[in-house]
Structure 1
Amino acid sequence: MTMTATQFMNGPVEHAGPVPATLVEALNPYWLAPVLAHVSGGKGIASVETLEVIRTVATKVRFAVRFEGEQATHQFCIKGLLDVDEGTARGGPTCVLEADFYNRLAPVLDLRVPPCVATVVDRKGQQAVTVMRDLIAQGASFCSALDPFTADDALASLTQLARLHARADLLADWIAPRAAQLARMTYVTPEVLQDLLDGPRGEGILPEVRNAARLVSAMRALAERDAARPQFLLHGDAHAGNLYRTLEGMGLIDWQLLQRGGWALDVAYHLNAVLPVDVAEAEERWLLGEYLGVMRGHGCTMPDPEEAWAQYREAVVYGYYLWAITRRVDPPIIETFVGRLGRAVMRHDSFALLGV
């Protein structure tokens, strides 16, 4: 196998070469050996042991490697679109985006993220896999998507998001405004979206908020307003399932929706995804104030409390729309997030604020 390698800013090694399409290919010692050559000192791989396979949209595999001439094993996690159908494989550009995050941004961010050792990127074919150290082997625990956060938990995760948001100086052309892309997308038509909202995910949400045409109009209005506001570096998908805990604090994973946009897109989505509805209602304004204070401590210019509150109330639409169109995730997760975020849209009268 022929690969060329590049290293950005003392970060992981990026390999330009064939990207495996199956789990068997990804754990083949002959494929792995050059990917991990800078870790092994150029040694071959004597054995590969699969420890855990987690299949969501992308596949994450924890595995242990023993290099030739060594007794000890090294534990890693590889993430990519492995053993997926053709429709899911079209999401390859998001894997390239995640690889670019680890290659170009993670090494210079004051942010708790998994230690990435290598990426393999096929830019022409728009596919990539990312190889990280195994956080579980290092004592970390991953949150479940449906873990109910307390207000203190949310404050800890908001503090991590603020460290990301404060680095708008790192924005580059390859980091796109995802809200605008979502507003323009056509692969989920209003008719399909209405069918989804009329199903179990829409239970308990008022008919006017379950209205697909109105939701699409609200997303477009939000994207237009957001584009005119100061742009920040955003995670884009910071629900509890994309967080982990260590003795030092919380960390962030899953950078496939890395984007630029207004700070409120991340904050409103995050709080209303991780907090049960009653906790969000009671604590969100206090948490927003704490977040604004942290951002000002990072030297960022932020809006006054009333303007920030208005932007937050509008931005709830982003997370609601994101989960309303989601199909390739377990139904209980979709239904919980659509329920939490839909109720936030109801509580904040977000559609009316956006003029739809």
Structure 2
Amino acid sequence: MPQGLEKRLPSRPQVAVPATLAEALAPQWLAGALADIAKGRAIAAVEQVEVIRTVATKVRFAVTFDDGERLGLCLKGLLDVDAATARGGPTCVLEAEFYNKVAPAVAVRVPECVATVIDRDAQRAVTIMRDLIVDGARFCSALDPFTADDAVLSLEQLSLLHARSDLLGAAGWIRPRAAELAQMRYVTAEALQDLLDGPRGDGLAPRVRSAANLAVAIGELARRDGARPQFLVHGDAHAGNVFRTPAGPGVIDWQLLQRGGWALDVAYHLNAVLPTAVAEAEERRLLGEYLAMMRAHGPAMPDAEAAWAQYREGVTYGYYLWSITRRVDPPVIVQFVDRLGKAVMRHDSFGLLGAG
């Protein structure tokens, strides 16, 4: 395991999943949720440090026990949300299960998870982690530009995840999300075209800006991807889901954990974190670095030309993911659709997939 973060099995306290921020920070609820680390001590005080609301809520807070120890923590879950947002609860369950069942078995640098609270019947969950910022980590923003050297380090983390595809045999709960996304009616064809006709699609060729072409491309990518060797895939590896420590980068946000081809992660990651000009100049070399890492870990990988073809197709996944995104700050959406859409143009991904 990379140095810098110790891993432990999180506790799984049998308490109710909170629905609001007030419930989550109530000392009485926290006493039950943190019983494993409280070890009989009462919670004397709870201090809210920071709240970040996207689809899920992330709250940094500190608890002070009655013996004076102060512990910085971060809780993530769907708190104070409307009924439509609450339907995303299964992704929170998926992330909690990652920390319960996958994180202890992989060498990826992740936050230390101290507890997961899951209601599988209601498909709701929260995850409680150590506050990495207190321990000196820095979270990247979604729009932080990576250098090629930065990307080598983040690719190393992804390779450590992908190398443990042996875990998939006993993990039927990890789904082929690219295929499921291709079948979703989360956004209608008409609504997707309206989105692409807006600012997010400015600067892209009409062929790539076509919702009909994108639907064909993601469907064909999912079909081809499902027939290839399956890997543990993060599914949403943009810069906002990377943190930096003195020991190296780590990865957060496991709500799109899935099984699929390695290229879904690699093509999305490089074209999301690198400015377009840097990606164009460096991506083939970086792909070679990634393939060498994977071979060193043990898995058989395709040769350079076959891998390049998969990479060129795989860009479509990230482009589709951000094209349908609505509940994120518009500047972030515009940047990612632009970077990933231009990668689709550069690689003729739609042509490779028979779209348009």
Tell me the residue number matched to 1:3: none
Tell me the residue number matched to 1:297: 296
Deviations 1:314-335 (A, max 9, x none): 0000000000000000000000
Give the distance between the partners of 1:44 and 1:89, measured in 2 at CA: 32
Q: Contact conserved, 1:142 with 1:243, CA < 8 A, in 2? A: yes
Give the distance between the partners of 2:283 and 2:83, measured in 1 at CA: 40
Q: CA deviation at 1:10?
A: 5.4
**Secondary structure of the residue that 2:46 maps to in structure 1?**
strand
The runs of 5 or more residues in structure 2 that have no matched partner are 1-6
Tell me the residue number matched to 2:164: 167
Residues 10 and 115 of structure 1, relative CA distance in 2, 3 Å threshold: closer
Q: CA deviation at 1:72?
A: 2.6
Q: CA deviation at 1:15?
A: 2.7
**Secondary structure of the residue that 1:237 maps to in structure 2?**
coil
Tell me the residue number matched to 1:33: 31
**Secondary structure of the residue that 2:134 maps to in structure 1?**
helix
Q: CA deviation at 1:292?
A: 0.2
Tell me the residue number matched to 2:3: none
Q: Contact conserved, 1:16 with 1:122, CA < 8 A, in 2? A: no
Q: CA deviation at 1:87?
A: 1.1
Tell me the residue number matched to 1:317: 316
2:14 corresponds to 1:43: no
Tell me the residue number matched to 1:82: 79
1:213 counterpart letter in structure 2: A
**Secondary structure of the residue that 1:136 maps to in structure 2?**
coil
Aligned residues: 347
| Residues 1-356 of structure 1 aligned to structure 2 (within 5 Å) | 11-68=9-66, 70-171=67-168, 172-356=171-355
Give the distance between the partners of 2:251 and 2:147, measured in 1 at CA: 17
1:86 counterpart letter in structure 2: A
Q: Contact conserved, 1:64 with 1:75, CA < 8 A, in 2? A: yes
Q: TM-score, normalised by structure 2?
A: 0.96
Q: CA deviation at 1:187?
A: 2.2
Give the distance between the partners of 2:306 and 2:225, measured in 1 at CA: 13
Give the distance between the partners of 1:20 and 1:192, measured in 2 at CA: 33
**Secondary structure of the residue that 2:9 maps to in structure 1?**
coil
Deviations 1:224-274 (A, max 9, x none): 000000000000000000000000000000000000000000000000000
Q: TM-score, normalised by structure 1?
A: 0.96
**Secondary structure of the residue that 1:13 maps to in structure 2?**
coil
Give the distance between the partners of 1:101 and 1:33, measured in 2 at CA: 24
Q: CA deviation at 1:40?
A: 1.1
Task: Decide which moves more: 15-24 or 137-146.
Answer: 15-24
Runs of 4 or more above 4 Å deviation = none
Q: Contact conserved, 2:214 with 2:320, CA < 8 A, in 1? A: yes
Give the distance between the partners of 2:137 and 2:15, measured in 1 at CA: 31
2:333 counterpart letter in structure 1: I
**Secondary structure of the residue that 1:138 maps to in structure 2?**
coil
Q: CA deviation at 1:18?
A: 1.4
Q: Contact conserved, 2:19 with 2:80, CA < 8 A, in 1? A: yes
Q: CA deviation at 1:156?
A: 0.4
Q: Contact conserved, 1:143 with 1:243, CA < 8 A, in 2? A: yes
Give the distance between the partners of 1:16 and 1:126, measured in 2 at CA: 15
Give the distance between the partners of 1:271 and 1:249, measured in 2 at CA: 18
**Secondary structure of the residue that 2:326 maps to in structure 1?**
coil
**Secondary structure of the residue that 2:13 maps to in structure 1?**
strand
Tell me the residue number matched to 1:6: none
Give the distance between the partners of 1:16 and 1:329, measured in 2 at CA: 33
Task: Decide which moves more: 83-92 or 139-148.
Answer: 83-92
1:220 counterpart letter in structure 2: G
Give the distance between the partners of 2:27 and 2:131, measured in 1 at CA: 18
Give the distance between the partners of 1:273 and 1:137, measured in 2 at CA: 28
Q: CA deviation at 1:16?
A: 3.8
Q: CA deviation at 1:42?
A: 2.0
Deviations 1:72-97 (A, max 9, x none): 31110000011112111110000000
2:46 counterpart letter in structure 1: V
Q: Contact conserved, 1:34 with 1:42, CA < 8 A, in 2? A: no
Give the distance between the partners of 2:282 and 2:353, measured in 1 at CA: 23
Task: Decide which moves more: 40-49 or 214-223.
Answer: 40-49
Q: Contact conserved, 2:93 with 2:124, CA < 8 A, in 1? A: yes
**Secondary structure of the residue that 1:137 maps to in structure 2?**
coil
Give the distance between the partners of 1:223 and 1:319, measured in 2 at CA: 12
Give the distance between the partners of 1:251 and 1:33, measured in 2 at CA: 29
Please give the root-mean-square deviation of Cα atoms over the aligned residues, in Å.
Answer: 0.9
2:238 counterpart letter in structure 1: H
